[in-house]
Amino acid sequence: MRFAAAVIALCAALAQPTVHAEAMSDPLTWLGRIASAGQKLSYVGTFMYQSRGASETSRIAHRMDATGEYERLEVLDGSPREVIRSGNEVRCVLPEQKTVIIDQAGGRRAFPARLPASFSNLAENYRIRKGELGRVAGYEAQSIVLEPRDDLRFGYVLWADVQSGLLLKSRMVDEGGETIEQFAFSDVRIGGDVGPDLLKSRFDQSGGWRVVNARGSEISRSEGGWVLRSPLPGYALMSVMRRPLGRERGEAIHMVYGDGLAAISVFIEPLAGHAVSPAVGALSSGAINIYKRVVDRHLVTALGEVPARAVQRLADGIEHSAQ
Q: What is the pLDDT of residue 75?
A: 95
- Tens-place pLDDT, residues 194-204: 999 999 999 99
Lowest mean pLDDT among 111-115, 123-127, 204-208, 248-252: 248-252
Are 159 and 134 a contacting pair, CB within 8 Å?
yes
Which class is domain 21-198? mainly beta
User: What is the mean pLDDT of the segment spanning 96-110?
Assistant: 83
Q: What percent of the chain has pLDDT over 70?
A: 88
**Cα separation of 165 and 197, whole Å?**
26
Q: What share of the chain is helix, strand, coil (3-state, %, to 5)?
A: 20, 45, 35
- Give which of 107, 132, 95 is closest to 35, Cα–Cα: 107
Q: What is the pLDDT of residue 22?
A: 46
User: What is the mean pLDDT of the segment spanning 141-159?
Assistant: 96
Q: What is the pLDDT of residue 275?
A: 59
Query: Which of the four pLDDT bands, split at 50, 70 and 90, describes residue 248?
Result: low
Instruction: Answer whether residue 1 shows pLDDT above 50.
Output: no
Instruction: Answer whether residue 76 shows pLDDT above 90.
Output: yes
User: What is the mean pLDDT of the segment spanning 156-168?
Assistant: 97
Instruction: Answer whether residue 274 shows pLDDT above 70.
Output: no
Query: Which of the four pLDDT bands, split at 50, 70 and 90, describes residue 169?
Result: very high
Superfamily of domain 216-320: MucB/RseB, C-terminal domain (3.30.200.100)
Q: What percent of the chain has pLDDT over 90?
A: 66
Instruction: Answer whether residue 39 shows pLDDT above 80.
Output: yes
Query: Which of the four pLDDT bands, split at 50, 70 and 90, describes residue 118?
Result: low
Looking at every residue in the chain, the average pLDDT score rounds to: 87
Question: Residue 226 class from Cβ within 10 Å (0-12 exposed, 13-18 middle, 19+ buried)?
Answer: buried
- Tens-place pLDDT, residues 182-240: 999 999 999 999 999 999 999 998 888 999 988 888 888 888 899 999 899 999 999 99
Please give the model's pTM, rounded to 2 decimal places: 0.86
Encode 245-275 in three state secondary structure: CCCCCCEEEEEEEECCCCEEEEEEEECCCCC
Residue 60 has a CB neighbour count (10 Å cut-off) of 21
Instruction: Answer whether residue 19 shows pLDDT above 60.
Output: no
Instruction: Answer whether residue 5 shows pLDDT above 50.
Output: no
Residues of the chain with CATH 3.30.200.100: 216-320
Q: What is the pLDDT of residue 215?
A: 84
- Give which of 320, 84, 313, 31 is closest to 200, Cα–Cα: 84
Residues of the chain with CATH 2.50.20.10: 21-198
Q: What is the pLDDT of residue 9?
A: 40
Instruction: Answer whether residue 269 shows pLDDT above 80.
Output: yes
Greatest mean pLDDT range, 100-109, 146-155, 238-247: 146-155
Q: What is the pLDDT of residue 273?
A: 66
Nearest 5°: the CA angle 116, 183, 146 is 55
